[in-house]
Amino acid sequence: MAKNPLDNADNPADSYSASSIQVLEGLEAVRKRPGMYIGSTGPTGLHHLVWEVVDNAVDEAMAGYCSRVDVTILKDGGVQVLDDGRGIPVGIHPKYDDLTAAEVVLTVLHAGGKFGEGGYKVSGGLHGVGVSVVNALSTRVEVEIDRDGKRHAMSFVAGGQPDRKLEVIGDAPAAAVSVADGESIDEIGEENGRTRTGTMVRFWPDPAVFKEGIEFRTQTLVERFQMMAFLNAGLEFHLIDERDPEFEEVVLRYDGGIKDFVNHLNGSKEAMFEQVGHYSDEDGGDTVDIAFSWNTGYQTDGIHSFANGINTIEGGMHEQGFRTALTRTVNAYARDKGVIKEKDDNLQGEDIREGLTAIISVRVVEPQFEGQTKSKLGNVSVRSLVEKATNERLREWFEENPKEAKAVVTKATNAAKARIAATQARQTIRRKSALDGAGLPGKLADCQSKDPAESELYIVEGNSAGGSAKEARDPRTMAILPIRGKILNVERARIDRMFKNAEVISLIQAIGAGLGEEFDVAKGRYHKVILLADADVDGSHIRTLLLTFFFRQMRPLVEAGYVYVAQPPLFSTEVGRSKIYLKDDVARDAYLATHPNAEFQRLKGLGEMDADELWETTMDPEKRTLLQVTAEQAAIADEVFAVLMGDDVESRKKFIQANADDVRFLDI
């Protein structure tokens, strides 16, 4: 906890006035209740520190002053964020007579970029708490600012206590000359009369705050920066991980912005036409940007929305406006062109959204974030903005691209037919009362307990493994459903076909909570649905098919945290007359370190274990490790699934080969 600087005679903060004390009390509040400012003190909160600093650089980019952000994970666990924005202002702050604006930004809550002139019109950052929070939760922060021709530096220790007041440490270097394509100057950094501006923030998170650890996950940073790069056309991110000598610098820059985002999400799918549609509009400082394309696939959830750079996974007014206007526009167009006759029913939204990939990005001056995870946009005015833009501009796009428009309408018409066929198929099944849980599948060995909270369903690949699992289980709480062969690939199958698949039907019956839009997680018969398949590539494939099925057709089950992946061991070794199982390479290496000469067998399949072994290694709640499947980052998950499951066989093969070991740990 930060000490009162006045208690320490050696502290340079001695010269600070009453306002500085106030300032430190603010940071003290952050240290007392960090969760209130960064959501949690777990890995999510830890990464939030990086987002806070990077958001400031992105704000500079949005205001038109920053073109590049360099993020470095330092060897000693700190993080450095360097941008070429205007630099945090270095003059004396009007409200705090003895502090520079830069010191205020680093030590006063909410000071961010919101004060004085030159403040941002539209700001990112879900919490928007500002860099001072990063300061409060770090053991050390170092800042360098290039501005007004000078390089300035300051630093803080122990949760925001001044270590070195802002001072000039030299001249700012010359500004980089931007070299256009084909020009002869190839030396970046050459004098052009101007000096560089920008901010460098280096921080070391406080392990006393982040008790679960202070290790940053590179992939998390890459995914976030990629999203930001898509949403800010032309902005260039560089990521370096100095902890890993093998790490190759990641550079992310998309000059096509959200159009590139759509292409990227569609990358592994078969696009219906070459060009990505795009339009934007503006009203009273709020802006909307939309890019869209259709692919030949059947999913209906390809709309991804963002507000001020935040992925609004719970949707909101911008999404609503788009959906309404999309449905309206396609129906109006189809009627005008005579594809739908007067007496015909309208196409439904889901028909039109089949195969659609769209990015909706809005910037809102005063965003209202609502919902459970504060990721739903509540501004009603944004709905009309998006609706109006879509009504006008999408219609224009259809008129200008008649071939594409026709393909869209034809696809939607086919989807409508399939929807009607599915309703009929569903009714047939319901008549047999299969979907309502009255009939349980014959292959299911159900558990005795009727309390979903303690009941577990093991979905086991193959009949022989299914047999072992039935023998091994605790019949009171564990149900076993053997699944034969590969279930239908749901990414590619329309719902009407899925109802005809025996494996899919038995899954739906066993879980007993319905399917698709009718899925009701409260009716689920098990709070743990555990996928148990071999630890090899075939097992990975089946696991992925099942995960895709749950993700697409029973998403609330995934969101509730009810879906798990069991981890059968990969290796076994004989020790005397007993056998020891080790779950992965790490466990094997650890074992080898203490038991030289052990010979390992790579296990080929679950079928090789008898019931006792299966219980011991994989099912015993006392010993097993289950991986909980999460549905975070739907946009990225969409892509992972698409790569794995989509029509593009080549990229699917490549993905599975590249990730053969990881696929079983697939963390959607």
Q: Which residues bind ligand 0RA (CB under 6 A)?
A: 53, 56-57, 60, 83, 85-86, 88-89, 105, 113, 118, 131, 199, 201
Report CA-CA distances (Å) from 450 to 205, 435, 477, 526: 47, 18, 9, 9
* Least distance (Å) between residue 60 CB and ligand 0RA: 5
Contact (CB, 8 A) for 81 and 54: yes
**Tokens found for residue 51:** 């987002």
The closest residue (CB) to ligand 0RA is 118
Contact (CB, 8 A) for 614 and 468: yes
By CB atoms closer than 10 A (0-12, 13-18, 19+), residue 414 is middle
Is residue 446 annotated as a catalytic residue, yes or no? no
By CB atoms closer than 10 A (0-12, 13-18, 19+), residue 285 is exposed
105 or 276: whose CB is closer to ligand 0RA?
A: 105
Is residue 616 annotated as a catalytic residue, yes or no? no
Hey, is 73 helix, strand or coil? strand
Is residue 534 annotated as a catalytic residue, yes or no? yes
User: Which contacts (CB < 8 Å, 24+ apart) does range 330-336 have?
Assistant: 330/408, 330/409, 330/412, 332/395, 333/395, 333/398, 333/405, 333/409, 334/409, 334/412, 334/413
User: Which contacts (CB < 8 Å, 24+ apart) does range 652-661 have?
Assistant: 652/268, 656/537, 656/540, 656/541, 660/537, 660/540, 661/585
Q: Residues 146, 319, 534, 639: which is the catalytic one? A: 534
* Least distance (Å) between residue 152 CB and ligand 0RA: 13
Q: Residues 350, 474, 538, 559: which is the catalytic one? A: 538
63 or 592: whose CB is closer to ligand 0RA?
A: 63
The span from the CA of 230 to the CA of 253, in Å, is: 7
85 or 257: whose CB is closer to ligand 0RA?
A: 85
* Least distance (Å) between residue 48 CB and ligand 0RA: 15
Q: Provide φ and ψ at 360, rounded to 5°.
A: -110, 120
How are beta strands 68-73 and 236-241 bridged, if at all?
A: parallel
55 or 404: whose CB is closer to ligand 0RA?
A: 55
Instruction: Specify whether the backbone of 316 is left (phi greater than 0), alpha (psi in -120 to 50) or beta.
Output: left
Q: Provide φ and ψ at 533, rounded to 5°.
A: -135, 165
24 or 134: whose CB is closer to ligand 0RA?
A: 134
Q: Residues 260, 354, 404, 461: which is the catalytic one? A: 461
Q: Residues 98, 370, 474, 536: which is the catalytic one? A: 536
**Tokens found for residue 383:** 């709905």
Q: How many residues does the chain have?
A: 668
Q: Which residues fall within 8 angstroms of residue 652, CB to CB, at 6 or more apart?
A: 268, 643, 644, 645, 646
* Least distance (Å) between residue 70 CB and ligand 0RA: 12
How are beta strands 563-566 and 626-628 bridged, if at all?
A: antiparallel
Q: What is the 3-state secondary structure (H, E, C) of 513-535?
A: CCCHHHCCHHHCCCCEEEEECCC
* Least distance (Å) between residue 65 CB and ligand 0RA: 8
Report CA-CA distances (Å) from 163 to 9, 17, 27, 152, 501: 13, 16, 15, 14, 67
Is residue 610 annotated as a catalytic residue, yes or no? no
By CB atoms closer than 10 A (0-12, 13-18, 19+), residue 536 is middle
Strands (E), 64-118: 68-73, 79-83
90 or 415: whose CB is closer to ligand 0RA?
A: 90
CA 87 distance to own-chain centroid: 30
Dihedral of the alpha carbons of 221, 223, 229, 232, in degrees to the nearest 10: -100
Cα–Cα nearest to 79, from 47, 104, 102, 109: 47
Dihedral of the alpha carbons of 415, 421, 422, 427, in degrees to the nearest 10: 160
The span from the CA of 183 to the CA of 148, in Å, is: 29
Contact (CB, 8 A) for 488 and 507: no
Q: In which element (H, E) is residue 282 found?
A: strand 277-283
Contact (CB, 8 A) for 385 and 321: yes
Report the catalytic residues: 461, 534, 536, 538
